[in-house]
Amino acid sequence: MDNFQFCRILPLLLYNTEKWLDNAILRHFRTLTRKVPLEAKIEAAVAGDKAPMIAQVENDWAAGYASSGVIVPLTSYVNGSNGLTATQKSDIWKGVWNDQFLNGKMYMFPFNESDYVMYYNDTWLKKDHLPVPTTWTQFASDLKAVTSTSKDTWGLSMDPGSETEGAENGTYLYTSIMQSYGGTLATKTGKPTFDTKAAQEALQYLVNLWKAGYVKFGTDYPGQTAMGSEHSLFDMSTVASYYYNEVADAGKFTMDVAAFPKGPAGSGNSLAGTNISIFTSASKAQRQAAWTFMKWLASPQETAYWAEQTGYLPVTKAALPDMKKYDATHPYVEIAAKSLQYATATPPEAGFDEAMGALANAIQEATVGHESVAVALNNAQSAAVADIAAAKS
């Protein structure tokens, strides 16, 4: 969602704030709209000394803004007299809360959050008397059960991404599996950890499925297309894909949603979305008012409303009771929201987007390239380290 869409709904969200805040925020957001990508708009505004008071940001953008000193640390606001109580802090999903920090300091506050879910053809699953998989072992068993050359069916289609195109849904499926095997994307200092034992075990799991023909690769949302045409049983994609998957299946079968299966170390998922930061261009009074607005926007009632109107997920657990009526017709939202507790964002390091492309390339090398998992991940590790070094030079 771009800031123009944000501005269209913002008047509905504002309440008894000062009129100048209403006008100023809208004015600043509208100066950052039209046809230029959001990050470029913000950077151009900052360079021209016309930075907004607040803007939605991805965590790697925020890392750059923080190092340049153009966004404000939020710790004093969060812990101040107009801050969050201990209960309010703990109500924010753990994975979302962790994403707000850069080098131990809070520079962002949650806004648009999303993660990944497992879509499946429930009609097919029940017809074949298969369980909804809750572990990756069960998932592999279901894939095997439905794969048939004569019927032209298989378990899952995915886009693994590539070094040139970058990370795609299949890349994030792999990183989610890696997390469930106990792996991480990086150390606390931001160094990639693509070649660990957990990373190798998770990639070997995926390679085995591909070699057996249970998983096929494609581009342009192949999971959605294959499941919708009843060639594959599953699609592993973001919760934001729900509507498009419904369109793809066109009512031919009952589609359902479940959380990603668990691995030997528990659950894993990949966090997506944007947060909000306050820019140093704002006056002291404007910063305080902007914080009041951000805090209100993340309150249970308002984050519930925002989620229902946009398809994003509520940033706090306390919003779920306010969404009971909505959840009755959109049960996948609560499933996805609860996965935010353990979802992990891509590390906010300059060059890490390029590094994720190297990880996607490792999936390609270990499958279609017939390289060993160890060598493919060692190559990815070396490329990722180089990508991050180049970005910082």
Tens-place pLDDT, residues 362-374: 999 999 999 999 9
pTM as predicted? 0.88
Q: How confident is the model at residue 46 (pLDDT cuts 50, 70, 90)?
A: low
Q: What is the rounded average pLDDT of the residues 290-314? A: 94
Q: How confident is the model at residue 186 (pLDDT cuts 50, 70, 90)?
A: very high
Q: How confident is the model at residue 48 (pLDDT cuts 50, 70, 90)?
A: low
Q: Is the pLDDT of residue 57 over 60?
A: yes
Q: Name the residue ranges covered by the structural domains of the chain.
A: 3-114+272-344, 117-270+346-392
Q: Is the pLDDT of residue 144 over 60?
A: yes
Distance separating alpha carbons of residues 362 and 374, to the nearest angstrom: 10
pLDDT of residue 261: 98
Question: 123 near 254, Cβ under 8 Å?
Answer: yes
Q: What is the rounded average pLDDT of the residues 107-115? A: 96
Distance separating alpha carbons of residues 322 and 57, to the nearest angstrom: 27
Q: Is the pLDDT of residue 321 over 80?
A: yes
Q: Is the pLDDT of residue 23 over 60?
A: no
Q: Is the pLDDT of residue 389 over 90?
A: yes
315: Cβ–Cβ under 8 A, 6 or more apart, which residues? 92, 93, 96, 110, 111, 113, 298, 303, 340
Nearest to 372 by CA among 135, 202, 204: 204
Q: Is the pLDDT of residue 225 over 90?
A: yes
Q: By mean pLDDT, which of 253-257, 280-284, 340-344, 376-380 is the weakest?
A: 280-284
* Per-residue model confidence as pLDDT tens digits over 156-174: 999 999 999 999 999 999 9
CA distance to 160, 255, 313, 318, 346, per residue, from 84 (Å): 40, 39, 20, 14, 26
pLDDT of residue 38: 65
- The architecture CATH gives domain 3-114+272-344: 3-Layer(aba) Sandwich (3.40)
CATH number of 117-270+346-392: 3.40.190.10
Distance separating alpha carbons of residues 161 and 364, to the nearest angstrom: 8
Give percent above pLDDT 70 in the chain.
88
pLDDT of residue 7: 42
Q: Is the pLDDT of residue 315 over 60?
A: yes
Q: How confident is the model at residue 32 (pLDDT cuts 50, 70, 90)?
A: very low
Q: Which two tokens stand for residue 341?
A: 């507790």
The more confidently predicted of residues 31 and 247 is: 247
pLDDT of residue 242: 94
Q: How confident is the model at residue 288 (pLDDT cuts 50, 70, 90)?
A: very high
Q: Is the pLDDT of residue 179 over 80?
A: yes
Q: By mean pLDDT, which of 46-50, 253-257, 273-277, 382-386 is the weakest?
A: 46-50
Q: How confident is the model at residue 8 (pLDDT cuts 50, 70, 90)?
A: very low
pLDDT of residue 15: 31
Distance separating alpha carbons of residues 128 and 124, to the nearest angstrom: 6
Q: How confident is the model at residue 126 (pLDDT cuts 50, 70, 90)?
A: very high
Say whether 117-270+346-392 and 3-114+272-344 share the same fold: yes
Q: Is the pLDDT of residue 203 over 50?
A: yes
pLDDT of residue 52: 80
